[in-house]
Amino acid sequence: MAKSLTVKQIEALKNPSRRVELPDGITVGLYLVVQPSGRKSWAVRFRARGKTKKLTLGTYPHITLSAAREMARAALTSVAEGKDPSKKADPSDRAAMTVAYAVDDFLKRYVAAHNRSSTARETSRLLQKELVVPFGDRNLTSLTRRDVADRLDNIVDRGAQIGANRTLAAMRRFFNWCIERDYLQTSPCGRIKAPAVERSRERVLADREISLIWEASSRIGWPFGHFIKLLILTAQRRSEVAGMRRIEVDWAARLWKIPAERSKNLQPHEVPLSEISAALLRSAPVVDGDAGLVFTTTGRSVISGYSKAKWRVDQEILALLKERAEAVDVKPLPNWTFHDLRRTAATGMARAGVAQQVIEKVLNHTSGSLSGVAGIYNRHAFTAEKREALELWSKCILGLTDPVAAAGEEGKG
């Protein structure tokens, strides 16, 4: 009997010398197909009308293991009902267009071409789970507003209100694209409001809170300790720091060059590294692997488990406060997130006198004082100004976390 596939096993697979198919021990008929190039895809094998057939579900990791199992079960259910899920719809025949075909077409023609890989994976995950799995073999034009509302209600009932908002956004873009392609006349998302009200966070950490997070990060050590400190020092996004590759760092110039495909606005971004940031990176262990990742434990994939890491930081902060007799049974830093570190850094630089347009350049924001026509004509990279701002911010952090060393730095000046 085949063993059930695991994400860890899939991630550890080496490129085979020839094409191989690995069966999943949990879902009968589901296979992971691995090519010599390393490309991985999912397929379901079944019998329909006395013939063995195959349905290709899509590539991994765009379709996760759990999503592939759900899709395979849905396909096998269709077979049990006398349908053939491998039969593709004729795109010129709107009456024969299935939800599964339309979603696949959308992901290939639009999402892959217009979105970052991380965004594409998340869009694929949401549409596969909330549209293809429950409605995959249904005619696209048969979907109703009630169908969409029911899916969103299910997500809200699971306690994922914000997740429901994200799903609605993905569905709305998909159905609008279907209208553009003349697959649909109207969208079943019409007049459906976002299930949850989202408010912009305004949490800015106090100096004492930054100091506690820094010291707690030192206690938890590599890799998340270094990771959190670099979030504080560079003011960059969590995904950008986590995905840092050594080839992106110009050590001589102390410059981190984030490529366009890894930045949120799809624009290349240069981040000058302060002396503290560069020293922190140099102290990071080098983990062997083809990807050349900085924040990795396997060499093949970036670190994961952010919620668990934050919980560890919170526990260390609580321990610190207990040692100082500042708290006993209370959570020390309520309602903070990793993204708050970025907002806090921006606020701290502004407080230190850094100009707003320089802060926007540090954050790689395309809105604000350099948006629109001003942004088009002003191509100044602000490299020197960004370096000065981040050095100033690093000294502020040093003053909060190591006053003795900060005093030494002031003496040098």
For residue 331, the model assigns a pLDDT of: 54
Average pLDDT over residues 169-195: 93
For residue 89, the model assigns a pLDDT of: 53
Q: Are 180 and 226 in the same domain?
A: no
Residue 58 phi, psi dihedral angles, 5° rounding? 140, 180
Contact between 202 and 335 under an 8 Å Cβ cutoff? The reply is no
Q: Are 260 and 303 in the same domain?
A: yes
Q: Quick count: other Cβ atoms within 10 Å of Cβ 285?
A: 10
381 pairs with which residues across the strands?
A: none
Q: Quick check: is 202 in a domain?
A: no
The amino acid that residue 229 corresponds to is K
Burial, 214: exposed, middle or buried (Cβ in 10 Å; 0-12, 13-18, 19+)? buried
Q: Are 172 and 224 in the same domain?
A: no
For residue 51, the model assigns a pLDDT of: 85
Q: Quick check: is 201 in a domain?
A: no
Q: Quick check: is 200 in a domain?
A: no
Alpha-carbon gap, residue 160 to 150, rounded angstroms: 14
Q: Are 276 and 310 in the same domain?
A: yes
Average pLDDT over residues 185-206: 86
Q: How much is the mean pLDDT over the chain? A: 85
Q: Are 129 and 22 in the same domain?
A: no
Q: Quick count: other Cβ atoms within 10 Å of Cβ 88?
A: 12
Give the pLDDT band (50/70/90) at residue 94: low
* Whether pTM exceeds 0.85: no
Token pair 């879902």 is found at: 27
pLDDT tens figures, 373-412 = 444 444 467 899 999 999 999 999 999 987 655 555 555 5
Give the pLDDT band (50/70/90) at residue 4: confident
Q: Quick check: is 384 in a domain?
A: yes
Q: Quick check: is 33 in a domain?
A: yes
Q: Are 142 and 270 in the same domain?
A: no
Alpha-carbon gap, residue 164 to 159, rounded angstroms: 9
User: Which of 195, 215, 236 is the endpoint of a domain?
Assistant: 195
User: Which of 61, 82, 103 is the endpoint of a domain?
Assistant: 82
**CATH classification at residue 367:** 1.10.443.10
pLDDT tens figures, 26-50 = 888 999 999 988 889 899 999 887 7
Q: Are 16 and 115 in the same domain?
A: no
Alpha-carbon gap, residue 29 to 73, rounded angstroms: 9
**CATH classification at residue 9:** 3.30.160.390
For residue 281, the model assigns a pLDDT of: 95
The more confident residue out of 339 and 50 is 339
For residue 220, the model assigns a pLDDT of: 95
Listed residue (191, 169, 386, 182) closest to 271, CA to CA: 386
Q: Are 92 and 223 in the same domain?
A: no
Q: Quick check: is 21 in a domain?
A: yes
User: Which of 147, 170, 195 is the endpoint of a domain?
Assistant: 195
Residue 326, pLDDT > 70, answer no
- Provide, rounded to the nearest whole percent, the portion of the chain with pLDDT above 70: 88
Average pLDDT over residues 126-142: 89
Q: Are 55 and 122 in the same domain?
A: no
* Overall number of domains in the chain: 3
Hey, what are 300's tokens?
Answer: 């093949």
Hey, what are 112's tokens?
Answer: 């892959």
Q: Quick check: is 191 in a domain?
A: yes
The more confident residue out of 270 and 298 is 270
**Lowest-pLDDT range, 14-18, 77-81, 87-91?**
87-91
Hey, what are 3's tokens?
Answer: 């063993």
Q: Angle at Cα 78 formed by Cα 76 and Cα 84, nearest 5°?
A: 95
* SS3 readout for the chain: CCCCCCHHHHHCCCCCCCCEEEECCCCCCEEEEECCCCCEEEEEEEEECCEEEEEEEEEECCCCHHHHHHHHHHHHHHHHCCCCCCCCCCCCCHHHCEHHHHHHHHHHHHHHHHCCHHHHHHHHHHHHHHHHHHHCCCEHHHCCHHHHHHHHHHHHHCCCHHHHHHHHHHHHHHHHHHHHCCCCCCCCCCCCCCCCCCCCCCCCCCHHHHHHHHHHHHHHCCCHHHHHHHHHHHCCCHHHHHCCEHHHEECCCCEEEECHHHCCCCCCEEEECCHHHHHHHHCCCCCCCCCCECCCCCCCCCCCCHHHHHHHHHHHHHHHHHHCCCCCCCCCCCCCCHHHHHHHHHHHHHHCCCCHHHHHHHHCCCCCCCCHHHHHHCCCCCHHHHHHHHHHHHHHHHHHHCHHHHHHHHHHC
Contact between 139 and 94 under an 8 Å Cβ cutoff? The reply is no
For residue 371, the model assigns a pLDDT of: 45
Q: State the residue range of the domain holding 7.
A: 1-82
**CATH classification at residue 123:** 1.10.150.130
Q: Are 226 and 327 in the same domain?
A: yes
Residue 258, pLDDT > 50, answer yes
Q: Quick check: is 145 in a domain?
A: yes
Q: Are 189 and 50 in the same domain?
A: no
Q: Are 349 and 401 in the same domain?
A: yes
Listed residue (340, 346, 315, 117) closest to 212, CA to CA: 315
